[in-house]
Structure 1
Amino acid sequence: MKRVAFVFPGQGSQEVGMGKDLFDNFDTVRQMFRHADQQLDGDLTSLMFDGPQETLTNTENAQPALLLTSAAAAAVLKEKGVEPVMTAGHSLGEYSALVSAGAISLEEALPLVRLRGRLMEKAYPAGKGAMAAVLGGEMETIQSVLDSVNDETGEVVDAANFNCPGQLVISGTKQGIEAAGEKLKENGVKRVLPLNVSGPFHSRLMKPAAEKFAEELQKTDLTDTKLPVYANVTAAPVTERSQIAELLVQQLYSPVRFQEIIEAMLDKELDAIVEVGNGKVLTGLVKKIHRRMKTFSVQDTESLQAFVEWYKEES
């Protein structure tokens, strides 16, 4: 049997229409979506299918919507006989990875990520925090610039996502991001692109959210995983319940080490890495990390069928 890893997208991959094709074609998915609507006391399904995009993009809506879409796609893959040997997710996507690996039920994860979204929104005043993508430049140079901005201005700016070679995301106060952007360009960085986000995620400014989230996480029924899940914080596989909970709290204010996660997975002789859920953002990042690695994205019946046909071919 082929060895595949599932990777699950995070916030930013949401779009109106997400999950609708799977909903229209699979009873399992329809049941999952209807149960989610009942559980969350709203109509998440209508928001996902009809928008508006602005409301769907709100953190407290985008997070359960992305989790639900990823879990639905993974459930259909399981029905088709596809089982990963390991999983990982980008930020929010780590929850989809944990659901897939049996560490937490979808029923428990949905309200948990909605709360996570609300706490992230409230952790820092609206409009005062920012994030930006840094394209090009050496990591040592970038970190040196961030350190100098922190020291010289008293503002906060941290490395938030290590996505792939030549692509880093920084997070912090609006003034800190602006100062770092100017200084990075002076030091040879090609581009610094502001991101359309509502807060300084994966920076130390999220620690108030992490403290409140830890209290709620203690009430959650986590179990040991059935297969390794590569954690955002450590880029290493985790299987034990206590370690999972601790890392999920740290994840809120720590950088996402996606490039290292993929590099670690590639050491395990995989036949393919499969992005499960909406969009192809992670597929693009994987290709930049290792251009010859076979990748698939599964988000609708067409992409599902193409992957399953490959998976069941004789090697």
Structure 2
Amino acid sequence: MKAWIFPGQGSQYVNMAASFDRPAERDLIRRSGELLNVDMEAILSGKDNLLDQTQWTQPALLLLSTLYSGRVSETLKVFPDLVLGHSLGEYSALVLAGALSFEETLIAVHKRGSFMQEAVPQGEGLMAAVLGMERSALVDILEEIRKASSPSAGFIGAANFNSPGQIVIAGTRSLVEDSFETLRKAGARKIVPLSVSVPSHTPLMDGAAKKMEEVLDRMTWKAPRCPVISNQTATASSDPSELKIRLVEQIRKPVLWEDCVREAIRLGATSFLEVGPGSVLTGLGKKIAKEAEWLSSDRPGSL
């Protein structure tokens, strides 16, 4: 069984669309810019650092994953048995599966990025990767920090369970920064603050989730061609109404990526192909399940 996986924020890089030079591909890039009333070529080229601004990062990554999907489908002449995506990548998975149209989703993820940025004032949130800690131990420590903090202090919690020994925490900047010493003493090998001010996948995104629910309700949903494993539950579904609810919850709840990969394997997946820029998920996957085959569409010769 083959699974295709789609990357989220952090996988973007300047000029990541340079190899997509066919007329139909250039047309899709042009149409994407028209839909968003923006110069998409300028964003992809890194002008004014727009590619790293959440409201533009998200549609740019959806566009790239869609371009890669076209190339991969043409090369392999197969359709996956399962699809899953990391955070924003779940939208790319739903587009590939036919549950959502590219055009509607492009506009939706642009709004998603804006809603998320607006939910917490610039500079007041923080995400950080914690390396080398057991999942249960980290969760317990974060719970203790929350209990010891006043409600006005904000929030701290796990945002992404990426792989064994790699968990991303997020929340109010002061709480996250103050947690570093405690986590180091508890065994964290390394803590890396991320250049992301939006504390995604935490209750601080409640406002963004409510706005996104309205957007998703107005979109046209269809049954996907294959099951989609959702970040929020780490279970597969082909029910459009269920998939929509999970997308809403995904913004304010942790990404259970390690669990998603293990569920795909439990369902029979033996081969995973990362469809999109970079190979972040390929690297994580090898830490989760070495026995599976891991391929990246962004690596020359991988296919």
Q: What TM-score comes out, normalization by structure 2 length?
A: 0.95
Alpha-carbon deviation of 1:271?
A: 4.0
Identify the match of residue 87 of structure 2 among 91, 94, 108.
91
For 2:87 and 2:43, the matched residues in 1 are separated by: 22
Q: Give me the whole-angstrom Cα distance separating, in 1, the residues matched to 2:174 and 2:94.
A: 36
Letter matched to residue 142 of structure 1:
L
- Mapped partners of 2:264, 2:282: distance in 1: 14
Alpha-carbon distance in structure 2 between the residues aligned to 1:144 and 1:194: 20
Q: What residue identity is the alignment partner of 2:81?
A: V
Letter in 1 for 2:212: F
- Does residue 293 (structure 1) correspond to residue 292 (structure 2)? The answer is yes
Match of 2:201 in 1: 202
Distance, in Å, in 1 between the alignment partners of 2:269 and 2:55 is 34
Where does 1:69-218 land on structure 2 (aligned, <5 Å)? Answer: 69-80=64-75, 81-154=77-150, 155-218=154-217
Confirm or deny: 8 A CA contact 2:124 2:197 kept in the other structure.
no
Whole-Å separation in 2 of the counterparts to 1:71 and 1:211: 27
Give the one of 2, 23, 29 matched to 1:4.
2
- Which structure 2 segments of 5+ residues have no match? none
- The count of aligned residue pairs is 299
Comparing 189-198 with 156-165, greater Cα deviation is found at 189-198
- Post-superposition CA distance 1:88-119 (Å, at most 9, x none): 00000000000010000101110000000000
Is this contact kept in 1: 2:30–2:40, CA < 8 A? no
1:68 maps to which of 63, 68, 84: 63
Map of 1:313 onto structure 2? none
RMSD over aligned Cα atoms: 1.4
Task: Point out 4+ residue stretches in structure 1 off by more than 6 angstroms.
Answer: none
How far apart in 2 are the matches of 1:82 and 1:102?
15
After TM superposition, the structure 1 stretch with the greater mean CA deviation from structure 2, 287-296 or 255-264, is 287-296
The residue aligned with 1:273 is 272
Partner of 1:229: 228
Alignment check: 8 A CA contact 1:158 1:204 kept: no
Counting aligned pairs with the same residue, the percent is: 39
What amino acid sits opposite 1:186 in the alignment? K
Offset at residue 27 of structure 1 (A): 3.2
Counterpart position of 2:238: 239
SS in 1 for 2:218: coil
Select which of 27, 41, 51 maps to 2:46: 51
Distance 2:48 2:39 in 1: 15
